[in-house]
Structure 1
Amino acid sequence: MTGTTEGGQPTALCRDCLSLFESKPVTGRCPHCQSPRVVAHPELSTLSVAHLDCDAFYASIEKRDNPALADRPVIVGGGRRGVVAACCYVARIYGVRSAMPMFKALDRCPDATVIKPDMARYRTAGQRIREMMEATTPLVEPISIDEAFLDLSGTEKLHGGPPARTLAALVLRIEREVGVTASIGLSYNKFLAKIASDLDKPRGFAAVGEAEALDFLGDKPVGTISGVGGQLQNALARDGITLIRHLRRYEETELMARFGAMGRRLYAFAWGRDPRPVAPNEPAKSISGETTFDDDVDDPEELLRRLWPQCERVARRLKTADLAGQSITLKLKTRDFKIITRSHKLSDPTNMADRLYRTAEPMLRRECDGRQFRLIGIGAGDLTAGVFADPPDLLDPNRDRQKKVESAIDAVRKRLGDDAITKGRGFTGSRQ
């Protein structure tokens, strides 16, 4: 899509030397630096909502720090019993994908180099990228360690050019200073920006404007809409809805009658609308921890022993963030990869590992019917301020004592390290 907008606004940009043009050069190359990386769009100067997504972030960090891996397929994840946390684009050629069971990934790409995740290193790089984004615009909404939405509305004078140019400069800076690449999706709302960021990976830059939005979305599968998982796709398919344009046959009220609150989202997105603002520092909706076993486990006592460290992990994260959760969710994955979740709402919020454990224990025992499990996890939702955590309860006279014990353990660990003191539940063979 090339051409000149009214008023002579630039509709093309060189992503290497950052030159702007009223229209895309006939040769397709930048006349200043001869780069072929020229992006063109009729609305390039007016779009301001972006989704920035680093390319194969964990694997890119590993390749950055070990140049010998540059041309090799790299998988970041657990052992053979784990799952793929990330993989490079070379591994993706073989069909490896994130969240794939490791044994399937290695069957497809047996020569891959498998690396255990180093989250501390990834967080350091992610934080540096976050700082660069926040220096570009205050409207940054983090999605994960390596991606975020940005709203650059009104930044033209500050940065001396349209948002598209500012974003291209940001990506070049990330490459230069952090050593990883990123892709940009640029549009007029978050929904379309997110889709656009996947169109041209890696090192991509794609724009979707208002004039083309309906045509662009029409033949996309309904699964393109965030929140539309397998079950909802099946339900939509039963109504003959497999493509986004099929949703436009229905009024909003009809979709809401069929699919509840999700119907409103389906209707808006089908018409290219997304009223959600880019919301900086949006609070976490839940905090969770999980572990995948080397061998399947069916013994309830062993499962409980594996659950306890995750309860401590979640409790530690809640306390660090000064939060408490009122909804507790147990997660299990069977040997055939079926995910089971069970939830319970507490009378008041908690950030104590002991209450997380005691809440999850009966839910876990009910699921222990001889099935073998490969993963267990615990999560806390309905988050609120930590000051509301674990108030005195006449029906639970031991709560105050347990809270003091846990606080004492936390204090020792803060001084001497997490391994300085271990509760009985953490020992092999414990039945506490």
Structure 2
Amino acid sequence: MPAPVWILHIDMDAFYASVEQMDQPELRGRPVAVGGIGGRGVISAASYEIRKYGVRSAMPGTTARRLCPQGVFLPVRMERYKEVSRQVMHALEEFSPLVEQASVDEAYMDATGLERLFGPIPELCETIRARVRKATGGLTCSVGAAPVRFLAKIASDQNKPDGVFLIYPEDVDSFLKTLPVGKIPGVGKRGREILQELGVRYAGQIPNRPRAFWEQRFGKWGGELYDRCRGMGSTEVVPYAAPKSCSAENTFERDTLETATLRRWLLAQSDRVASDLRRHGVRGRTVTLKAKFADFRQVTRSRSLDHRTSETDTIYGTALELLEELCPKTPLRLIGVGVSNFSPRSRQLSLLEPEETSRPDPKKQHLEQTVDAIRRRFGPGAVRRAALLEKPSDKSEPSKHGDGQSSGGNGRDGSSGH
């Protein structure tokens, strides 16, 4: 008889804020928020102490300060969070090779059959929590276990913080019967409103109507909703997927057209993206500039090079050219740089692509590899470009990705995918 399928979702508790409280013991027990620095900043993470005042992630910093004037508001330190994230992922891999990092602070694990090695699933979940706490120096996580992925993710939120919640196969129907339908992935605010108009408040009410009804109402998504509300979903856990793109963006505290400010931010972003590309061991051919204007209108401009690159100067130079071509006439709210169209993974694929007419400069490659090594050892601020020593005249708040950076796939940095 095959072992029952168990998918675990491991979710760190108030991760960014918890890291800050761990690194600064004087902040333990105090209301702490990460992010929200500057007029347009948003909260990236909120400690459980500050949540009592109504402060939540994605909330504007100005609102959070009004709700909790005595709160401690800290800048995002993404490199530090990534460092701790790697400790978490390495700890999880001690239990199973099938660990999929979903973000910097969460992961899925296929625990099917692990009971023979680590005991019953409840015991395994407790062992995982203890191992993560030891590996990180005291951080807590919450674990959800279920027969499918989406239910495991829902389960990990049931007993937060520092808890475990299991949904056994025989309990799936009863769990869904009283689960608010808004907890189902894909059901947003508007979806909840429409479902409430149809008299649906709980996931268990969806199967009361046939699948065809929901497909007629919502198309393909209606069929997926019907399946999920019957407890059906994916059990696939993919340990690693190569990134498809790397990008960085920043929202300015004040809209700006100042050339020097835009150039400095493009240089800082290009340096960040280039470093990320080298860390992943890839090079990209296409450079993309992203710009959002004060009226929230957004445009992108892209250029494909005659060779793939992971060099800061090449990415930065191309981004500058794209900015000059864009020639914005109204102030910008956000600017960003991205690189995509990475090196093909096989010789067969590379035969289908145009031949590269130029090659990377070996001296530049060696220099940037040396800089990477110094930053890995002494921190990201150990080596900075001279042009970035003078801070831009306009402060900015990182994008929703934390440090303004996003990498496709589910790589070890936990960045978002494109």
TM-score bin, normalised by smaller chain = 0.7 to 0.9
Where does residue 39 of structure 1 map in the other structure?
none
1:199 is paired with a residue whose SS is coil
Where does residue 116 of structure 1 map in the other structure?
75
**Residues 6-405 of structure 1 aligned to structure 2 (within 5 Å):** 48-77=6-35, 79-81=37-39, 82-159=41-118, 161-177=119-135, 178-217=137-176, 220=179, 223-227=182-186, 244=203, 248=207, 249=209, 251=211, 255=215, 258-259=218-219, 262=221, 265-299=224-258, 302-325=261-284, 330-332=289-291, 338=296, 340=298, 342=300, 346=304, 350-352=308-310, 353=312, 354=314, 358=318, 362=322, 368-373=328-333, 375-381=334-340, 383-385=342-344, 392=355, 400=358, 403-404=360-361
C-alpha separation between the residues in 1 aligned to 2:198 and 2:127?
Answer: 46
After alignment, is 46-55 or 179-188 more displaced?
A: 46-55
C-alpha separation between the residues in 2 aligned to 1:380 and 1:235?
Answer: 39
How far off its partner does 1:182 sit?
A: 0.8
C-alpha separation between the residues in 2 aligned to 1:369 and 1:111?
Answer: 41
| Aligned-partner residue type, residue 215 of structure 2 | L
1:413 to 343, 368, 386: 368
C-alpha separation between the residues in 1 aligned to 2:197 and 2:315?
Answer: 43
Contact 1:153 1:163 in 2 (8 A): no
Contact 2:141 2:163 in 1 (8 A): yes
| Aligned-partner residue type, residue 370 of structure 2 | R
The aligned length equals 372
The change in CA–CA distance for 1:226 and 1:46 in structure 2 (over 3 A counts) is same
How far off its partner does 1:281 sit?
A: 1.9
The change in CA–CA distance for 1:306 and 1:176 in structure 2 (over 3 A counts) is closer
How far off its partner does 1:158 sit?
A: 1.6
Contact 2:147 2:235 in 1 (8 A): no
Deviations 1:301-339 (A, max 9, x none): 743542332133213212321224567655455558x58
C-alpha separation between the residues in 2 aligned to 1:247 and 1:324?
Answer: 47
How far off its partner does 1:423 sit?
A: 7.9
C-alpha separation between the residues in 1 aligned to 2:89 and 2:175?
Answer: 30
How far off its partner does 1:51 sit?
A: 0.5
| Aligned-partner residue type, residue 12 of structure 2 | C
Contact 1:46 1:162 in 2 (8 A): no
The change in CA–CA distance for 1:227 and 1:368 in structure 2 (over 3 A counts) is farther
After alignment, is 380-389 or 92-101 more displaced?
A: 380-389
The change in CA–CA distance for 1:180 and 1:251 in structure 2 (over 3 A counts) is same
| Aligned-partner residue type, residue 31 of structure 2 | P
Over alpha carbons, which structure has the higher Rg?
1
The change in CA–CA distance for 1:265 and 1:333 in structure 2 (over 3 A counts) is farther
TM-score (norm 1): 0.70
Q: Pick 1 or 2: higher relative contact order, CA cutoff 8 A, min separation 6.
A: 2
2:271 is paired with a residue whose SS is helix
Deviations 1:202-229 (A, max 9, x none): 1121122333434533565655344555
| Aligned-partner residue type, residue 126 of structure 2 | A
Q: Percent identity?
A: 31
Contact 1:51 1:186 in 2 (8 A): yes
TM-score (norm 2): 0.72
Deviations 1:119-175 (A, max 9, x none): 34333332222222111122111112321111111122222x112211112212333
C-alpha separation between the residues in 2 aligned to 1:333 and 1:95?
Answer: 30
Contact 2:286 2:305 in 1 (8 A): no
C-alpha separation between the residues in 2 aligned to 1:216 and 1:357?
Answer: 55
Contact 2:285 2:340 in 1 (8 A): yes
C-alpha separation between the residues in 1 aligned to 2:342 and 2:227?
Answer: 28
Contact 2:289 2:322 in 1 (8 A): no
1:136 is paired with a residue whose SS is coil
The change in CA–CA distance for 1:212 and 1:167 in structure 2 (over 3 A counts) is closer
Contact 1:47 1:164 in 2 (8 A): no
C-alpha separation between the residues in 2 aligned to 1:235 and 1:348?
Answer: 50
C-alpha separation between the residues in 2 aligned to 1:264 and 1:348?
Answer: 45
